[in-house]
Amino acid sequence: MAECNVQFGEVTEIDRIPCIIFECDKITEIIVYPNERMLARLKIQGEAGGWLKFETSYDLTFEYSEEEMELTTSSWSVERGDVILTNITAKSEGDFFITTKMNGKETGRVKVVSKEREKDIFLQDEVDNLMSENNEAIQFNRNNTVPGNGYCIMAADRGLGALLNDTENFYTEPNLTSQGGNGVSLRNSSTRSEALQNHGYIKDHFEIRTDNYYTNNEPTRLASSLKERIEQDIDKKPGFHVYYYSMHGEYHVMLLLMDNRNPCNRKYSILDQGYVRELDLDFDSIDEKFLELAVRFWNNKNQHAKNILMWKMQQK
């Protein structure tokens, strides 16, 4: 979106009024997926001129084609600095525009890009299914006799099955076919990822090593940035992203849930059977958190705390 008032040529003092910018300066257009509701966050910026500078609030309206999209809210009473929210649902693919008006005067246009959702992007209802299943797996782990922390790979698999709406190819409880289960067998993250790859559920995979990879010394840093690697995967792809991963020589298997709905405020959650689980952490801290986990595992079995194996999940 252009800066306030610039798009209309030379602006006199009396013409100047506040306008609309994106709350996040990393966003230049609103990306949505056809028939899926997406939240847009915008902000009121700029000073008014003339008699309007004595006003404390303004009437803001969004004008758009109802044949192209729907907005849950399209008019507000606003003040400078306010953040406004509206959910946008595009009815088809294409580039659409919202005309913004302040006190009846056009101040600019917001571009909405509607495109097919890529297979590795997940939406809120799908993530809700994942979180619900993870909570049930944690409760099952607490209430049943599971050796050591051995339920981690089962908890991760249960979560993926709920996320992907597949109860045939993912671990379920009960598991034994004699008890009505599907009999899915789990050994370790590498063999499991091969099976998931064959089912079409893996988009990509990578490894992040710690600086003690060739020794048994305590790790002091990641040899390469996990944050930078994930940013390559999720840039300009709003929504949620999910990674199946293991640490500690594949001894501990977990899920990494990335919330990329707001690129200026990305969050991540670590999901397992309740051993490490942490929610809604600041993405900027992810390298430090994973180093912390590596040190924690090193203190347990130092010969195994050397790398992080990551597999990015997708729909078929």
In 10 A of CB 289, how many CB atoms?
18
Sign of CA dihedral 287, 130, 120, 152: positive
pLDDT, residue 248, reads 85
Tell me, yes or no, whether 1 lies in a domain: no
- Indicate the residue among 94, 114, 134 that finishes a domain: 114
One domain for residues 307 and 288? yes
pLDDT, residue 8, reads 39
Question: Where does the pLDDT of residue 52 fall: very low under 50, low under 70, confident under 90, or very high at 90 and above?
Answer: low
pLDDT, residue 180, reads 84
What is the H or E stretch that residue 110 is in? strand 105-114
pLDDT, residue 253, reads 96
- For residue 206, which of 254, 240, 237, 244 has the smallest C-alpha distance? 244
pTM: 0.92
Q: What are phi and psi of 44, to 5 degrees?
A: -90, 125
pLDDT, residue 10, reads 47
Residue 148: pLDDT above 90? no
Tell me, yes or no, whether 119 lies in a domain: no
pLDDT tens-digit map of 9-44:
444 444 567 888 999 999 999 999 999 999 999 999
One domain for residues 230 and 91? no
**Residues 6 or more apart whose Cβ sits within 8 Å of residue 29:** 1, 110, 111, 112, 113
pLDDT, residue 3, reads 43
One domain for residues 108 and 128? no
For residue 256, give the amino acid letter: L
Q: How many domains does the chain have?
A: 2
Report helix angle 152-163 to 189-198, nearest 10: 20
Lowest mean pLDDT among 50-59, 163-172, 223-232: 50-59
Residue 256: pLDDT above 70? yes
One domain for residues 164 and 300? yes
**CA distances from residue 177 to 137, 183, 304, 305 in whole angstroms, order as listed:** 19, 5, 34, 35
pLDDT, residue 300, reads 84
Lowest mean pLDDT among 179-188, 199-208, 220-229: 179-188
Residue 222: pLDDT above 90? yes
pLDDT, residue 45, reads 86
Sign of CA dihedral 291, 209, 280, 40: positive
Domain region containing 159: 124-313
pLDDT tens-digit map of 86-113:
999 999 999 999 999 988 888 889 999 9
- Cis check for the bond before 18: say yes or no (omega within 30 of 0): no
Residue 1: pLDDT above 50? no
Tell me, yes or no, whether 289 lies in a domain: yes
Residue 59: pLDDT above 80? yes
Residue % of the chain over a pLDDT of 90: 76
Mean pLDDT over each residue of the chain, to the nearest integer: 90
**Residues 6 or more apart whose Cβ sits within 8 Å of residue 141:** 151, 155, 273, 274
> What CATH number corresponds to the domain at position 54?
2.60.40.10
One domain for residues 175 and 42? no
- For residue 304, which of 253, 261, 247 has the smallest C-alpha distance? 247
One domain for residues 99 and 128? no
- Indicate the residue among 63, 92, 114 that finishes a domain: 114
Tell me, yes or no, whether 189 lies in a domain: yes
Kindly state the average pLDDT of the residues 168-172. 96
One domain for residues 159 and 23? no
Which H, E and C letters describe 237-304, residue by residue?
CCCEEEEEEEECCCCEEEEEEEECCCCCCCEEEEECCCCCCEEEEEHHHHHHHHHHHHHHHHHHCCCC
What is the C-alpha separation between 245 and 297, in angstroms, rounded? 15
What is the C-alpha separation between 211 and 234, in angstroms, rounded? 26
pLDDT, residue 200, reads 98
